[in-house]
Amino acid sequence: MGKGRQILGSVAANGFLTAYGLLEGYTTPALPQLRRSGSGLAVSDEDASWIGSIFLLGIALGTPLQGLMLAFGRRRSLMLVSPVMCLGSLLMTFPTSVEMLLAGRFLNGLGMGSVLPMAHIFISETVAPELRGALVGSGMFCINVGLIAVYSMGFFLTWQQIGGVIATFYGLYPLVLWRLPETPNWLATHNRDEEAHRSLLFYSGDQGAEAELARIKQRSLAHNPDLPPLGEVRQRAFYMPLIISITVTICKATSGTPAIHLYSYDMFLAVGGNADPLLASVVSTALSSVGSVFAFVLMDRAGRRPLFILAMFTCGACWVTIALAAMFIRDPIATDWVAILGFSVALFVYNIGIGPVGMVIMGEMIPLRYRTVISPVQSMIMWISSFAIGKTFFQLRDGLHFYGLCFLYASTCLLFTLLGYLLVPETKGKTLSEIEELFEKRALPASRKASVEYGVLGNGETVGVNAAPRPPAYGTEATLPQATLPTHDSGGDGERVTQTA
């Protein structure tokens, strides 16, 4: 019963990420209709670039509100923001001008940005450790479900009706969460112990509930929410995670995948060929969504670093292939197949490597005492970079031709492949303490020393040059008396913290 409720809660929380896919992919079916005569709005390419990208700008500006929304609770914040998202979607459904449509898209982005990590946090705090990776990782799959759903709506709904469907989704979404309790972690840290105990009983059953509540309370006392001293910004443990997280963040945007989600119809049209661009968008996104299912399984087997580097390189190769098809292939059928496979593989490797690996790397690398500083910075940079990619698509397409734009995206992928090799460390199998110490070393991530320094045997014994036991990193987790520990495995050597893009 406990695991069933955990899965039910995860599906409900991930529904918000499905709605993210609906909103991000809205422009692919809507823009072609908005450009037609009789749409009611005179939409130019400049207007289209704003309609697509202003949603991402809203997310960037909504990111600083995440701390405020966290204070309301994970479940409650998702419920509170849903009416705002519904209002934004209604503005998209009944606009009397382009400006009104832009206002709706921006309002949706602002609301989404304020609560985007909440679904992952809700799942992380309500599911058992053995289910956490799969259920948190399913968020990427849910985004793809939203993309496929909104693309498919373009076959039989008008752009206004699509906006109405999204508005209805948000109007009903609070009912999905209504009967679910708040997470025990939030309740316990706000001294609502009785409700926290009931929440633990709901999600996990009676086994170990008392001990788990004691552990949560102890951890909340160990956490120091204060900002680190200003002098620490010169320490390697601060600036190296900052540099790497910003690098990973920018490469996620400049890989070109945000442009595919926003303007898939226009991209297939620009390549040439006879396939219906909307149908090609559905097929490529459906094929690529397989990657999101296996992403977290592969991360635990292949490692974060090699998967990330291989994904970036493959994404660059896909852009080169698409560019060459647009330049030289004259057979429409061959062009269609190359384009569909090229976009499918590019999105596949994003779903399997660039997106989820980037989230996990940033969550594991950033020391807890610096997270209040680094996390908002990297989130803002990621969404502003995505906004820049979306806003410049039509201008770069016209200025460089489509094949030139593809080569530009390919060059950024190859550049960040090199930077990933030089900068990004392997965090697989390492505790948060070991990762933090790794950043204090002078060895580059690409060196053999950095790769094997913290190898861990199956029995938990640490091997390498620093085999002596190390204390936990400041602010990670307090040591509890043996009698108060929960009877189930609560995450091994170190808790992994996952973050949204």
For the segment 45-102, what is each residue's pLDDT rounded down to a tens digit? 999 999 999 999 999 999 988 878 878 888 999 999 999 999 999 999 999 999 999 9
Chain centroid to CA 355: how far?
A: 6
Query: Would you call 472 helix, strand, or coil by DSSP?
Result: coil
How many of the other CB atoms lie within 10 Å of CB of 100? 13
The DSSP string of 261-279 is HHHHHHHHHHH--SS-HHH
How many domains, the chain? 2
For residue 467, what pLDDT band results from cuts at 50, 70 and 90? Answer: very low
Does residue 420 share a domain with residue 293?
Answer: yes
Percentage of residues in the chain having pLDDT higher than 90: 40
**What secondary structure letter does DSSP report for 494?**
S
Average pLDDT, stretch 210-216? 72
Res 458: pLDDT: 37
| Average pLDDT of the chain to the nearest whole number | 79
Q: List % helix, strand, coil for the chain (3-state, nearest 5).
A: 75, 0, 25
Q: Which of 19-28, 108-117, 282-291, 402-411 has the lowest mean pLDDT?
A: 282-291
- Whether residue 145 has pLDDT greater than 80: yes
* Domain final residue pick, 180, 215, 244: 180
Query: Would you call 455 helix, strand, or coil by DSSP?
Result: strand
Does residue 362 share a domain with residue 440?
Answer: yes
Residue 101: give the domain boundaries: 1-180
Q: How far apart are CA 495 and CA 501, in angstroms?
A: 20
Does residue 245 share a domain with residue 160?
Answer: no
User: Looking at the domain assignment, is residue 258 inside a domain?
Assistant: yes
Give the pLDDT confidence of 342-372 residue by residue, as tens digits: 999 999 888 887 877 766 666 666 665 666 6
Q: How far apart are CA 359 and CA 354, in angstroms?
A: 9
Is 238 within 8 Å of 377 (Cβ atoms)?
Answer: no
Average pLDDT, stretch 305-326? 92
- Whether residue 315 has pLDDT greater than 80: yes
- Whether residue 236 has pLDDT greater than 80: no
DSSP H or E run through 168 = helix 159-177
| β-sheet bridge partners, residue 463 | 455
**What secondary structure letter does DSSP report for 94?**
S
- More confident position, 393 or 305: 393
> For residue 197, which amino acid is it?
H
Does residue 286 share a domain with residue 168?
Answer: no
- More confident position, 499 or 331: 331
User: Looking at the domain assignment, is residue 196 inside a domain?
Assistant: no
How much is the CA Rg of the chain, to the nearest whole Å?
Answer: 23
For residue 105, what pLDDT band results from cuts at 50, 70 and 90? Answer: very high
Does residue 247 share a domain with residue 159?
Answer: no
Does residue 175 share a domain with residue 71?
Answer: yes
Give the pLDDT confidence of 246-280 residue by residue, as tens digits: 888 888 888 888 899 999 999 999 998 888 999 99
- Cite the DSSP H helix spans in 178-289: 184-189, 193-204, 209-222, 236-254, 257-271, 277-288
10 Å CB burial of residue 399 (0-12, 13-18, 19+) is exposed
For residue 299, what pLDDT band results from cuts at 50, 70 and 90? Answer: low
Does residue 90 share a domain with residue 19?
Answer: yes
User: Looking at the domain assignment, is residue 303 inside a domain?
Assistant: yes
| β-sheet bridge partners, residue 462 | 456
User: Looking at the domain assignment, is residue 480 inside a domain?
Assistant: no
User: Looking at the domain assignment, is residue 265 inside a domain?
Assistant: yes
For residue 424, what pLDDT band results from cuts at 50, 70 and 90? Answer: confident
**What secondary structure letter does DSSP report for 482?**
G
Is 340 within 8 Å of 283 (Cβ atoms)?
Answer: yes
For residue 2, what pLDDT band results from cuts at 50, 70 and 90? Answer: low
Q: How far apart are CA 346 and CA 319, in angstroms?
A: 8
User: Looking at the domain assignment, is residue 491 inside a domain?
Assistant: no
Res 215: pLDDT: 74
49 phi/psi in degrees, rounded to 5: -65, -35
How many of the other CB atoms lie within 10 Å of CB of 461? 9
- Whether residue 285 has pLDDT greater than 50: yes
10 Å CB burial of residue 488 (0-12, 13-18, 19+) is middle
Does residue 244 share a domain with residue 169?
Answer: no
Q: How far apart are CA 263 and CA 49, in angstroms?
A: 9
Does residue 176 share a domain with residue 45?
Answer: yes
Does residue 327 share a domain with residue 244?
Answer: yes
How many Å from the N-terminal Cα to the C-terminal Cα in the chain? 32
Contacts (Cβ under 8 Å, ≥6 apart) of 301: none
- More confident position, 446 or 473: 446
CATH classification of the domain holding 49: 1.20.1250.20
Is 319 within 8 Å of 413 (Cβ atoms)?
Answer: yes
Task: Spell out where 409-500 has E strands.
Answer: 455-456, 462-463
User: Looking at the domain assignment, is residue 396 inside a domain?
Assistant: yes
Q: How far apart are CA 56 and CA 383, in angstroms?
A: 6
How many of the other CB atoms lie within 10 Å of CB of 481? 8
Res 367: pLDDT: 64
- Whether residue 328 has pLDDT greater than 70: yes
User: Looking at the domain assignment, is residue 483 inside a domain?
Assistant: no
For residue 214, what pLDDT band results from cuts at 50, 70 and 90? Answer: confident
Does residue 388 share a domain with residue 272?
Answer: yes
- Whether residue 448 has pLDDT greater than 50: no
Q: Which residue has the tokens 């450790």?
A: 129
> In terms of residues, how long is the chain?
501
Does residue 355 share a domain with residue 270?
Answer: yes
- Whether residue 374 has pLDDT greater than 60: yes
Res 450: pLDDT: 43
